[in-house]
């Protein structure tokens, strides 16, 4: 890239912004809706509902997204940090996909909802992260 910013660093910045927006959306009235009666019980039910009316969240889920967002923005400052961030996002969210498909674990022990549309969303978060973390070779990073 012309400005010396690698595609992996750009990935970390974009994912950071997306995670921040996702985390904040779980607190915004109108973007967050209370959990329907058929949702499983959680030990932590503050802000338990659907972000954007689609994705099950609670306060802990929102905080995790905000942390991943801030981390992504910080990681976008260097190629190595961005690469490490992408690897962790890939592995963590792939694990969440698997856990979200297993009814006994899809509330992460009653703490964080990871079922329903979250499973597919986690696939879409993990796949590009796996690409940038494990497979993509940034030309700008290799020239240094």
Spell out where 2-127 has E strands.
32-34, 49-51, 55-57
pLDDT per position as a tens digit, 10-61: 999 999 999 999 999 989 989 999 999 999 999 999 999 999 889 999 999 9
CA distance 100 to 118: 8
Nearest to 27 by CA among 58, 54, 6: 58
Say what the pTM is. Answer: 0.90
Number of H helices, E strands in the chain: 5, 3
Per-residue pLDDT band for 141 (boundaries 50, 70, 90) equals low
pLDDT per position as a tens digit, 50-62: 998 899 999 999 9
């Amino acid at each position: 890239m012309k400005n010396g910013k690698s595609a992996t660093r750009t990935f970390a910045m974009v994912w950071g912004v997306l995670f921040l927006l996702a985390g904040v959306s779980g607190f915004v009235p109108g973007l967050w809706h209370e959990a329907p009666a058929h949702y499983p019980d959680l030990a932590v039910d503050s802000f338990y509902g659907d972000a954007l009316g689609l994705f099950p969240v609670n306060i802990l889920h929102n905080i995790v997204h905000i942390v991943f967002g801030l981390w992504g923005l910080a990681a976008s400052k260097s190629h190595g940090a961005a690469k490490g961030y992408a690897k962790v996002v890939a592995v963590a969210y792939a694990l969440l996909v698997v856990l979200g498909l297993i009814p006994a674990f899809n509330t992460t022990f009653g703490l964080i909802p990871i079922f329903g549309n979250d499973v597919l969303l986690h696939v879409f978060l993990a796949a590009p992260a796996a690409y940038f973390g494990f497979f993509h070779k940034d030309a700008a990073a290799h020239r240094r």
